[in-house]
């Protein structure tokens, strides 16, 4: 059962200087996935990106850039899926109401959630007790 289970639970200060570290951890996890049916290096880049995008949203939106807060996330393998969860204690938001980017306009922001959805197989954001959790899953099979 346990055979491929991996759990990495991370707490870092609410600061952008740690984005590299958490992105790299996701990348290294993906690089070692013998069981992945696709290109591990491409997956590694994408996982790095998804972690970076979701955590910068927590840093800026949920935690209002307060450097004394902490960010909590987990990266793991569960039943042939790579699962990333990012927790926050902010006001929350409705992820299904985030509009797609305006591809004709030239907005500076608004591409984070779009990229996360483009890369992952399932993405949801919900309240769980006193916190919110953004849960992102990617199947390692038949893709």
Partner 1 sequence: MNLDIAEQKKLVVIAIKEERLDAHNATDLKSELLALFEQGKKNILINLQDVRFIDSSGLGALVSGFKNAITNQGSLKLAGLQPQVKSMFELTRLHRVFDIYPTAADVPELP
Ligand X SMILES: Nc1ncnc2c1ncn2[C@@H]1O[C@H](COP(=O)(O)OP(=O)(O)O)[C@@H](O)[C@H]1O
The residues binding ligand X (CB under 6 A) are 53, 57-58, 61-62, 88, 90, 93, 98, 109-114
Complex with partner 1: residue 44 or 79, whichever CB lies closer? 44
- Smallest separation (angstroms) from partner 1 to the CB of 101: 7
Angstrom CA distances, 114 to 50, 64, 98, stand at 10, 21, 9
Contact 125, 95 (CB under 8 A): yes
Give the one entry of partner 1, its own copies, ligand X, none that residue 5 binds, where binding means its C-beta sits below a cut-off of 5 to 8 angstroms depending on kind.
its own copies
Among 48-56, 71-79, 88-96, 126-134, the segment contacting partner 1 (CB under 8 A): 48-56
Task: Please report whether residue 16 would count as binding partner 1 according to CB under 8 A.
Answer: yes
Structure token pair of residue 131: 């916190």
Give the one entry of partner 1, its own copies, ligand X, none that residue 117 binds, where binding means its C-beta sits below a cut-off of 5 to 8 angstroms depending on kind.
none
Contact 77, 88 (CB under 8 A): no
CA distance 123 to 117: 6
Binding mask 73-92 for partner 1 (x = CB under 8 A): --------------------
Complex with its own copies: residue 76 or 92, whichever CB lies closer? 76
Question: What does the DSSP assignment read for 59-123?
Answer: IIIISTT-TTSEEEEEEEEETTEEEEEEEE-S----GGGPPPP-SSS--SS--HHHHHHHH-SEE
Give the one entry of ligand X, partner 1, its own copies, none that residue 133 binds, where binding means its C-beta sits below a cut-off of 5 to 8 angstroms depending on kind.
none
Contacting residue, 11, 20, 79, 126, with partner 1 by CB under 8 A: 20
Distance of CA 21 to the CA centre of its chain: 13
């Amino acid at each position: 059962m346990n055979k491929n289970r991996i759990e990495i639970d991370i707490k870092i200060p609410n600061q952008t200087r740690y984005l590299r570290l958490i992105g790299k951890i996701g990348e290294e996890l993906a690089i070692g996935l013998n069981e992945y049916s696709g290109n591990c290096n491409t997956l590694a880049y994408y996982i790095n990106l998804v972690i970076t995008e979701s955590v910068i949203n927590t840093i800026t939106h949920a935690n209002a850039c307060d450097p004394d807060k902490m960010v909590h996330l987990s990266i793991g393998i569960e039943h042939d899926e790579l699962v990333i969860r990012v927790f926050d204690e902010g006001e929350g938001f409705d992820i299904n109401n985030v509009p797609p980017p305006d591809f004709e306009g030239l907005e500076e922001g608004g591409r984070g959630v779009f990229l996360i959805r483009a890369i992952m197989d399932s993405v949801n954001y919900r309240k769980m007790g006193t916190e919110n959790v953004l849960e992102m899953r990617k199947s390692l099979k038949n893709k």
